[in-house]
Structure 1
């Protein structure tokens, strides 16, 4: 403590030797107001990282008694930018924060600089940052400066500088408040581009994302989802880019990771579309999804499988003229609803591919059928069901299945497929256990015969039950 007191004494003595930084009594009120407004709008000037590190060493030396040269007003003003970052944080240097508060009590300009630095460098796990916020709050309460009124109101309405209360209060207001999202940003000063990229904004977004899974199960889920998407991606650009991908993916998908009731399309589709735009398709942009985690990524893949399945049968309905389509749709939809289809991918003939651009849910995520033996209006649906790769053709194509680890099993997510990639020998299909007929022993595919009586369906269901341990019965997969 004696070192800190000595340093404070030297600080006060040093400041008397230079023009007084924070005493503007020699100026008229109009001159002072003009100077304050000029300062407010001329932008934030931060010393270089090299200069700040040199300043950190200097402050540490002064306040521990190792440097006897008095601190200048400019050094003290610049020191706000080391208070809550680096090592050691300036606010943790004994005596520096007390000196800063003493100088700021006579300088609204310095208070404003402290606010900017605190919002930029705030970290939720930093004790000195929380203490710094409370110190700023006390300075604001004691100040009569008109240019600080906005921050005084933000602290009064949202407790912004009491981070233990302010961060969750702001996050809750963004999700469910009466004000529009943009109005809230203005009220708390985070509408500014500099502040919108700082640590405090990160903390607010992290808190909001932590709240999302619970609110998306509530009665006002759609309203809160729309507000949260406006917060996360203003102007359709994700805040903090790659840095927030993991938290954004987990927050938006977290409501449905407990294997409970699936979301309605009114919630699922905007979440899915938002994640596709900002994280990409996990089937083709897997590295983007690594920070999201396996469980949430698997859910997203199942949602995309649904989109692929729906698109496949829409295209069959338009192009294949296949009377069996409703039986196939009912069969595979039953496995989709059970969560058995982990992933799905479409390969489309050139005529279908052209039309598929109009299928919004595919968002361009499909392969192409090329080469001989393929009709331009054919399409193929590839699925992962447990350890199996399943290939379903439109028109009169056969159903095939392979273990995933077989060398000739077709891979999902490729951009192009030839016919030979999709018709190689696979697993035999057993007869339907219910009728004792059907099946295909040669491994060359199962004909969709006897749809009305569940013949091929019973055979396919038996293979899936044996290999994937997923059992569905006639009552599950026959259309009503």
Structure 2
């Protein structure tokens, strides 16, 4: 078959469709030559569309396609001539990089694509995908305030444009700048909120995150996907702990008593000792403070039975120790080895509470009976030192102020 013998309609169709079929690789140069030689505006448009839609940079005829697109764009007095020059569209590397920089600099990324002629169907094309991936690379390499600025732009970009198949690049770009430094809370909170809204909470919705981690590993960019996910999980745990104290503060009439507990547990939080946390409201506490939990963008559970309906419980992990801390005058409980199974059926019924449940039986959270090593204590004078000693014996973590032995 000689492509020059094809009808114009068939030639256009072949120009647009051959890039995804390996059987057509050998004829691609001849098809492009025929499309350029016919010198028809509709065929020129097909060449440009093939370049921008498929952007087949690994194809053996990519350079021929790029050169054909550059030639056909410039030989007519139409918008593609100016667009190509301004946005460097026909440059393999500079084109996507130019679009990427503009997307990250704009409050309206859709307007950038319209200006470059990359709206409509082309917005879902591979050239735009390459530009967005380049934007991810630029954001992921940034540091400090620049990382915050580009991270915010990248979040807006993914919120306003339909971007497919770049989830791994997005997570890598947003989280990598913070592996060795900590963002301030004004950025951490919206970043965490965006990622959990898009992929779910990694603490209890692991399937989506497992897929993203596998895709990040395939990128081979040197970052540890699990480390990035754990970093986000740690931020969410911290938000849960801080939200619990903020909320309980509004429901207790003993703020002086609560100040001491807040200071005690937040010291563990700030030292990195608390690895997981979840909290639950009694029925009346939820009515009083549930709105604040929504404002803090944190999820929570409910406590039913066996507890005062105005009380709340914080359930957390430090090392291999599960702890339930109660608001008001409730005692604190400590379960060692929370994942252990027990042959004794009585112990099985009072084993450590699981995290991230929707409902808890208050009777079990307030038990005074448990497996070997289980302890509970009231918040009488000197409780901080006693709690610190219990935690140190089981985990080796010393309290920053109260130590432990």
Query: 1:170-185 residue pairs with structure 2 within 5 A?
Result: 170-176=99-105, 180-185=108-113
**Please, which of 219, 234, 242 is the counterpart of residue 145 of structure 2?**
219
> What does residue 233 of structure 2 align with?
301
> CA offset at residue 288 of structure 1?
1.9
Alignment partner, residue 463 of structure 1? 390
Report the CA distance between 1:173 and its aligned residue: 2.5
Are residues 399 and 199 of structure 1, via their aligned partners in 2, closer, same or farther at CA, if it must alter by over 3 Å?
A: same
Q: Which one of 194, 200, 203 corresponds to residue 130 of structure 2?
A: 203
- Secondary structure of the residue aligned to 2:329 is coil
Q: Per-residue displacement from partner, 1:322-357 (whole Å, max 9, x unpaired)?
A: 332112212221222222222211111112223313
Match of 1:386 among 296, 305, 319: 319
Report the equivalent of 2:191: 271
How far is the alpha carbon of 1:87 from its aligned partner?
1.9
Between the aligned partners of 1:306 and 1:337, the Cα distance in structure 2 is: 9
CA offset at residue 363 of structure 1? 3.2
Residue of 76, 94, 97 corresponding to 1:165: 94
**CA distance 1:475–1:377, change in 2 (3 Å):** same
Q: What's the secondary structure of 1:196's corresponding residue?
A: helix
Q: What's 1:289 paired with?
A: 209
1:230-245 alignment, distance < 5 Å: 230-234=156-160, 239-240=163-164, 243-245=165-167
Judge which range, 162-171 or 464-473, deviates more. Answer: 464-473
Where does structure 1 lack aligned partners over 5 or more consecutive residues? 1-6, 15-70, 429-441
| Mapping of residues 28-67 of structure 1, within 5 Å | none
Give the RMSD, CA atoms, in angstroms.
2.7
2:302 aligned with 1:368: yes
Q: Report Cα offsets for 1:290-332 as digits up to 9, x if no partner.
A: 2144222211221111221122112221112333211221222
Counterpart among 80, 93, 100 of residue 15 in structure 2: 80
Residue equivalent to 2:246: 314
Which residue number in structure 1 is paired with residue 347 of structure 2? none
Asked whether the 8 Å contact 1:298–1:342 carries over to 2, the reply is no
SS of 1:321's partner is coil
Match of 1:32 in 2: none
For the residue of structure 1 that corresponds to 2:134, the secondary structure is helix
Taking the aligned partners of 2:62 and 2:311, their CA distance within structure 1 comes to: 62
For normalisation by structure 1, the TM-score amounts to 0.72
SS of 1:294's equivalent in the other structure is: helix
In structure 2, the partner of 1:49 is: none
Q: Deviations over 1:426-465 (max 9, x none)?
A: 578xxxxxxxxxxxxx734122233xxxx33233333333
- Select the residue among 244, 250, 253 that pairs with 2:175: 253
CA drift at 1:221 = 4.3
The CA deviation at 1:219 is 3.0
Shift, 1:101, TM fit:
2.9
What SS is found at the alignment partner of 1:400? strand
Instruction: Output the CA distance in 2 between the equivalents of 1:464 and 1:160.
Output: 61
Q: Distance in 2 between matches of 1:170 and 1:281?
A: 32
Native 8 Å contact 2:12 2:42 kept in 1: no
Aligned to 2:358: 415
Structure 2, unpaired ranges of 5+: 214-224, 342-350
Please state if 1:153 is matched with 2:86: no
Cα distance in 2, alignment partners of residues 446 and 123 from structure 1: 66
Q: Tell me how far apart the structure 1 counterparts of residues 31 and 202 of structure 2 sit (CA, whole Å).
A: 49
Q: Secondary structure at the match of 1:420?
A: helix
What is the match of residue 40 of structure 1?
A: none
1:78 and 1:386 map into 2 onto residues whose CA distance is 63
Counterpart secondary structure, 1:352: helix
Q: CA deviation digits over 1:375-411, x for unaligned, max 9?
A: 2221111112222222211112222222232341211
State the alpha-carbon separation in 1 of the partners of residues 193 and 365 from structure 2. Answer: 30
Residue of structure 2 in register with 1:432 after alignment: none
Hey, what's the Cα distance between the residues in 2 that align with 1:447 and 1:124? Answer: 67
Is the contact made by 1:134 and 1:162 (CA closer than 8 Å) also made in structure 2? no
Tell me the TM-score normalized by structure 2.
Answer: 0.84
2:114 corresponds to: 186
Distance 2:269 2:323 in 1: 13
Distance change >3 Å, CA 97–CA 229, structure 1 → 2: same
Q: How many residue pairs align between the two structures?
A: 379
The answer (yes or no) to whether the contact 1:158–1:169 under 8 Å persists in 2 is yes
